[in-house]
Chains A and B, each alone.
Chain A
C-alpha cells in the first residue's frame, strides 16, 4: 500500500495522531507495569509540560533547539540526503559560537556580540557538514556513513579542544569560562514575569523565523523547486539543468548551519558557557522531528514542541513518581520515534481499507 494514494488529511493528520496514540498506549502499559497509574502519570506529564506556564516555557525552550535540528535534518531530506550528523554539527556550532564570544565579549556590545555568536555557530556547523557534502557530491561517499563518522570525530575533537584549550586555569569543570553578560540572549521572562525563572529566550523567535524562511524557500522558491526535484528524481533534475553536486554541497552547508544554530539557544540562551556533551542528543531528536513532522514547517514545529514537552513533563514525572526513573522520557521518546518514524505507514493499509468500505 502506497501512503501517497491516501488523501492528504489522512496522511497529514490521522496517521501521525494514530501513531502518537499508539506510542503513548505502549508507554502507559509500561508505566502500569512499573506499578504507577498511567492516567495519573499522564496528567502529571501534561500539567507539567503545557498547562503550567513555567513548564510550558521550559517546553518551548527545549523546542527552540529541536526546531533548529529538525530543520537541519528536514532540509537535507528534501534533497534526498539523510544527514544524521546534526548532532556533531550542532556540537561544532557550539564551538564556533564560543570562540566568537570568547574573542569579543570584553570588547563588543550586546547588539554586535549576539550576531557574532550566531554567525560563529552557523559557520562552524556549516563547515562541519561541508566535507560530508563535498564527498557525497564529488566522490559519491554516502552521506549517512560520513556524517555518522563525523559525529564521532566531533565528539573527540571537542573533548580535545575543551580540555586542552578552553578550561580556564585552575578549574575542574570540563567547560569554557562563562560568557560576559552582554552575550546572554534576552530571556522572555523580562517581559512576561508569569513564565517564572525559565531560560526561554528570543532564540525561540529565531526558530520561528527559520521555520517561516524554510517553508517559503522550500515550497515557493525556484531554489526549493530545484532542491525537491533533486531529492525526488536525480535524472530529471539533471535533465532540468540543475547542478546536482552544487545543490548537494549547498544544502549540506545549510543543514549544518541550521544544526549549529541549535547551540545558540542552549548556550547563549541558557548555560552561557560551552560544556562537554552539551548537545545531549538534540541532533538525533532532530531526525525524529523531521520524520514525524514530514519535513513540513508546521509539522516540524508541532513535533519539536511535543519532544520538548516530553523532556519537561518526563522530568517532573520522575520527580513525583518514585517508581518511574528519569530515563522514562527517553523511553517514551524512543517509542514515538519507533511509531512515527520507523513504522510511519503502519496504519496506512487499515485506513485505505476503511476509506474503500465507505465508497
Chain B
C-alpha cells in the first residue's frame, strides 16, 4: 500500500479552541477514505489545512511520501488536491464550460481555448460517465448535476486527491447512487478520495478505510470491512448510541390539524400542491416522506403562515386558519405562532436564524413581542437567563450566548432553533428536515426532544427526506410526490420499497 497523504502530528488551535491535536493517519493511494466525526470534531479544519486554507501550528503533511508546505489553495491545486465544498462554488449564470475555465482562461479572448476545453470536458464526461452538458447554464441544472460540475472541474484541473465535504447532504437517493458510481470509477483510475459524511451507511457502502475523529483527535482508523455502524457511532460520540429511542404507546388525542382540499398554484398557474388532505392529532407524529422538492416545503410554509394557499381549508383545533381575505402573508406567521403553532424551518440559515445576531437574540426571534415590557423594551437580564436555561437544556455548544450564531456549527444552530420553538409550548409543531447537516450525537438528542414533545401531547408534522428519520420518529407516514399525497402508511407497515414506489409517484394500491 502506497500512501497518498500522510498526516503527521498535525495541531491547530483557534484562540483557546483546539481544533486539531496531534492528528496522525495515512490515506492509501487509490482508495476511498471516509472521515467521520461529530460537528466540531476537527474534520473540516484538517481538510482546510490540507487544502491550504489554514496553516497548521505544528506537524507536517506528506504527499506521496514527500513533506509539503501548502500555503494556499493554489498550491494545493497545483499539487493535485481538489475539493468539492458542501456549498458549491459556481457562477450561476455562466455555463459549465465557463465555470470550469474560470481562473485558467489563458488569454485575452476565450474563443480559441473554449473549443479545446469543451472537447476535453466531453472526453472526461465520457471517461467518467458524468452526465453533464458543458454548454448548459448552471442555474438550469439540478443540485446533483451541479455537484457533477464541481467534480468535473476538479478532474479537469487534474486532481489526484479529491476531498468531498458532505457531498450527499443535498442529493436524492438516486443522485447519491450515481455519485458513488463516479467515485468508484475515480478510484479505479488510481485516484484517492477523502469523503466527509455524517451518514454512516454511506461509509459502509463505499469507503475502504475510515478514520473517526472526536474533539480534534483521531479516535481510530479502521478498515471499513471490519466495522459496523454501531461501532463507528460509539467511536464518534464516545458512548453507545440508542437506535430505538423510548416512546410512549401510540395514543392519539383530539384532531389538532385538519387539512382539506388544499391547493397551491404559482404565478404561471403550475400546481405546486394539489388536493392535499389529512388529519393530525394531538400526541402523534405524522411524517411526510418524499424526494425533496415535491411540495413538502410549500405545505410547511402554508401551515406556518409564511405563504397563502390558492384555495382549501385548514382547521386548527376546530377553527379555520385565517388565510381568507388576505393579499399577502405579511405578519401571518405571528398570528399562527400566537395560536400555538411553532415551526422549525427546513432552511434554518435562510428562515430560522439571523446569522449576524447573537445566540441570545436568536432565542427571541418570533417571540420578540412576548418578551417586551409595557414600554416596549427588553429586559436583557431576564432574556439572558432564559437563554442560559435553554442553552443548558439543549446542550448548545459553545455555551456563550453573546456569540454570533453564524459562528456555531449547524447542529448547534439547529439546537437553538428547536429549543426556542419547544420553549413556546405549542399545540402543533411543524418540523422541517430537523437533522439536515447534523451529526449523529445531535440527531439522537433532537429525536429525543421531538419524541418527548409528542409524548407530552403535542401534534407534530415532520417533513424529512431521510427514511431512517421517518422510521425513527413517525407514528404515521404520508408520502408526497408532485405536490400530491400519494399514499399513507402506519409505522407498522413501514416498507422501504413501497415508500420508494410512492415517492416515485406510483399511486395508491
A222 on interface, CB distance cutoff 8 Å:
yes
Query: Are A240's CB and B368's CB within 8 A?
Result: yes
- Chain B residue at smallest Cβ distance from A245: B330
B140 on interface, CB distance cutoff 8 Å:
no
Query: Are B352's CB and A4's CB within 8 A?
Result: no
B403 smallest CB distance to A (angstroms): 12
Q: A221-B372, A225-B378 are in contact. Are A232 and B330 (CB under 8 A)?
A: no
Query: Are A236's CB and B352's CB within 8 A?
Result: yes
Main secondary structure of the interface of B (DSSP, over half): loop
Q: How far is the CA of A240 from the CA of B329 in the complex (A)?
A: 12
Query: Are B356's CB and A239's CB within 8 A?
Result: no
Q: How far is the CA of A176 from the CA of B333 in the complex (A)?
A: 51
Q: Which of A2-30 contact B (CB under 8 A)?
A: 4
Give the total of B residues in contact with A, Cβ under 8 Å: 38
A-B contact count (CB 8 A): 87
Q: A4-B404, A220-B378 are in contact. Are A236 and B330 (CB under 8 A)?
A: no
Binary per-residue interface labels of chain B (329-373) against chain A in the complex, 1 for a CB within 8 Å, 0 otherwise:
111111111000001010000111111110001001110110110
- Chain B residue at smallest Cβ distance from A240: B366
Query: Are A221's CB and B377's CB within 8 A?
Result: yes
Q: How far is the CA of A323 from the CA of B365 in the complex (A)?
A: 58
Query: Are B377's CB and A241's CB within 8 A?
Result: no
Binary per-residue interface labels of chain B (365-390) against chain A in the complex, 1 for a CB within 8 Å, 0 otherwise:
11011011001111010000000000
A294 on interface, CB distance cutoff 8 Å:
no
- Chain A residue at smallest Cβ distance from B327: A138
Query: Are A239's CB and B366's CB within 8 A?
Result: yes
- Chain A residue at smallest Cβ distance from B355: A233
- Using Cβ atoms and an 8 Å threshold, which residues of chain A touch B408? none
Q: How large is the interface on A (under 10, 10 to 19, 20 to 34, 35 or more residues)?
A: 20 to 34
Binary per-residue interface labels of chain B (391-429) against chain A in the complex, 1 for a CB within 8 Å, 0 otherwise:
000000000000010000000000000000000000000
Query: Are B376's CB and A223's CB within 8 A?
Result: yes
Query: Are A220's CB and B366's CB within 8 A?
Result: no
Query: Are B331's CB and A243's CB within 8 A?
Result: yes
Q: How far is the CA of A225 from the CA of B372 in the complex (A)?
A: 11
A244 on interface, CB distance cutoff 8 Å:
yes
Query: Are A241's CB and B333's CB within 8 A?
Result: yes
Query: Are B368's CB and A232's CB within 8 A?
Result: no
- Using Cβ atoms and an 8 Å threshold, which residues of chain A touch B404? 4
B491 on interface, CB distance cutoff 8 Å:
no
Q: Which of A212-236 contact B (CB under 8 A)?
A: 216, 220-223, 225-226, 228-229, 232-233, 235-236
B306 on interface, CB distance cutoff 8 Å:
yes
B222 smallest CB distance to A (angstroms): 35
A32 on interface, CB distance cutoff 8 Å:
no
A213 smallest CB distance to B (angstroms): 12
Query: Are A241's CB and B366's CB within 8 A?
Result: yes
- Using Cβ atoms and an 8 Å threshold, which residues of chain A touch B329? 238
- Using Cβ atoms and an 8 Å threshold, which residues of chain B touch A233? 350, 353-356
Q: A216-B377, A222-B369, A229-B357 are in contact. Are A236 and B350 (CB under 8 A)?
A: yes
A222 smallest CB distance to B (angstroms): 4
Query: Are B365's CB and A222's CB within 8 A?
Result: no
Q: A240-B333, A241-B334, A242-B334 are in contact. Are A225 and B368 (CB under 8 A)?
A: yes
Q: How far is the CA of A327 from the CA of B332 in the complex (A)?
A: 54
Q: How far is the CA of A237 from the CA of B365 in the complex (A)?
A: 8
Cβ-defined partner of B330 (8 Å) among A228, A229, A235, A243: A243
Query: Are B371's CB and A222's CB within 8 A?
Result: yes
- Using Cβ atoms and an 8 Å threshold, which residues of chain A touch B357? 228-229, 232
Query: Are A244's CB and B354's CB within 8 A?
Result: no
- Chain A residue at smallest Cβ distance from B14: A359
Query: Are A242's CB and B380's CB within 8 A?
Result: no
Cβ-defined partner of B354 (8 Å) among A4, A216, A236, A359: A236
Query: Are A241's CB and B371's CB within 8 A?
Result: no
B300 smallest CB distance to A (angstroms): 11
Binary per-residue interface labels of chain A (288-321) against chain B in the complex, 1 for a CB within 8 Å, 0 otherwise:
0000000000000000000000000000000000
- Chain A residue at smallest Cβ distance from B373: A222
Query: Are B365's CB and A232's CB within 8 A?
Result: no
- Using Cβ atoms and an 8 Å threshold, which residues of chain A touch B335? 241
- Using Cβ atoms and an 8 Å threshold, which residues of chain B touch A237? 354
Query: Are A244's CB and B378's CB within 8 A?
Result: no
- Using Cβ atoms and an 8 Å threshold, which residues of chain A touch B350? 233, 235-236
Cβ-defined partner of B380 (8 Å) among A220, A226, A229, A244: A220
Q: How far is the CA of A221 from the CA of B383 in the complex (A)?
A: 13
Q: How far is the CA of A242 from the CA of B332 in the complex (A)?
A: 8
Q: A216-B377, A232-B357, A233-B355 are in contact. Are A239 and B345 (CB under 8 A)?
A: yes
Query: Are A225's CB and B331's CB within 8 A?
Result: no
Can you sample 30 A-B contacts with CB below 8 Å?
A: A216-B377, A222-B369, A222-B372, A222-B376, A222-B377, A222-B378, A225-B368, A226-B368, A232-B356, A233-B356, A235-B351, A236-B350, A236-B352, A236-B365, A237-B354, A238-B329, A238-B333, A238-B351, A239-B304, A239-B345, A239-B351, A239-B365, A239-B366, A240-B334, A241-B305, A241-B332, A242-B331, A243-B330, A244-B330, A246-B331
> Which 3 residue pairs across A and B have the least CB separation, nearest first?
A241-B334, A243-B331, A222-B372
